[in-house]
Structure 1
Amino acid sequence: MTEATNSGAVTSPAKRGRGEKSSPTIYDIARLAGVNPSTVSRALSKPGRVSAKTQKIIEDAAEQLNYQVNPFARALPTGRTQTIGLIVADITNPTFFDIIRGAETTGSARDYTLVLAESAESPETELIAARRMLGTVDGLILASPAWTTKRSGLWLRTSR
C-alpha cells in the first residue's frame, strides 16, 4: 500500500502519523491516481460518471491501496447504511434457519447487509440488541414467538 506525498515520495498509509495505522481514503486514491478527490468519489459511488480510462486508473489505485468502502461514511449524506438488523429468539432452533436465510438472500439481492443478533428468548436481551442496532441499521426484523402487547408498548417507547 503506497501513496504519493507532496514531495512526490511514496509512503504507506500504515506509516502515517505517530505510527498509527489508518485506512486509505479517497484523498489517498486521488493522490496516487493523479486526479481530484471529487473524481474518485464519482468513480467509486457512481461508475460511468467518469471516462473508462479514468475509472480504470482509480480502481487500480484503490486496489493497490487496499481501499475498502466505509459504510458509515457512505451513509452520512443519505442517512442509509444499507444494513438490516435481524433479532432471532434462538439461533439453534431450526425454525429460524429459513428466516435467517430468507432475510440474507432478500437483503443481499438488494445490496443490503444483514446484521444478526440472538435474544436467547430473553425480552431484556432482545431490547438491548434492538437498542444497539436501531441507530445503525435501515430496518429491524424481530423473529420472536413470544411477542406480546406489553412488549410492543415497550418497543414503541424505546424507539422514540
Structure 2
Amino acid sequence: MFLQRLKTVTTLIFDVDGVLTTGDVIASSTGELLRTFNIKDGYALQLAVKRGYHVCIISGGHGQAMASRFAGLGIPDVHLGVGDKVEVFERYLEKYGIQAEDVLYMGDDIPDLKVMQLVGIPTCPADASNDIKAISTYISPFNGGKTAVRDVIEKVMKLQGKWFDENPLASDSGK
C-alpha cells in the first residue's frame, strides 16, 4: 500500500534538524550553529529538483550555512526560522496548486506533527520521536542525517521511473 501511494507523489518536503542532519549542532565562536549534511541525501535532493519534483525545506532552524547548502543543491523553496510550519505549508501548496495528498513530508519531532497530519504521506527517520513514528506511513530504516532522506526520495523516483541519471556528475551531490 505504501509503495503504491508513492506513484502519485509530486512534492517532497523535509524538516532539517533530525531529518537532513543527525540533530547535533556545533556552536561556532561566532555563535552560528553548524550542522553536518549527508552527501547522499544531497545527491538525491538535487536530482529530485532536476527531475521536476517540487522540493521544499521547512525548518525552525536557521543560519547562513543552511541557506547556502540548500541554494547549492538548487532547492528553490527554503523556509528557515519557521515558527508555524502549517502556515508555511498551506501557503506553499496554494502557491503551486499542489494537493496535500500528493505530498511526502519527512519530519522527526513534535514541531512536525501538525503538518504531517495534513499530508498524503507522512514519513520519518528511524530515530524520530515516538509520537512522530505513530503517525508516519513509513519509517525509514535509516536515522536522520544518515540517508533517511535519500531512502524516501529514491523510493519515489524509482517507482516513477525517474531515479537513474544517464550522465551523473560527481559534483552534483556536493554543491
Do these two structures clear the TM 0.5 threshold for a shared fold by scoring above it? no
Q: Which has the higher contact order (CA 8 A, sep 6+)?
A: 2
Structure number with greater Rg is 1
- TM superposition score normalised by structure 1: 0.31
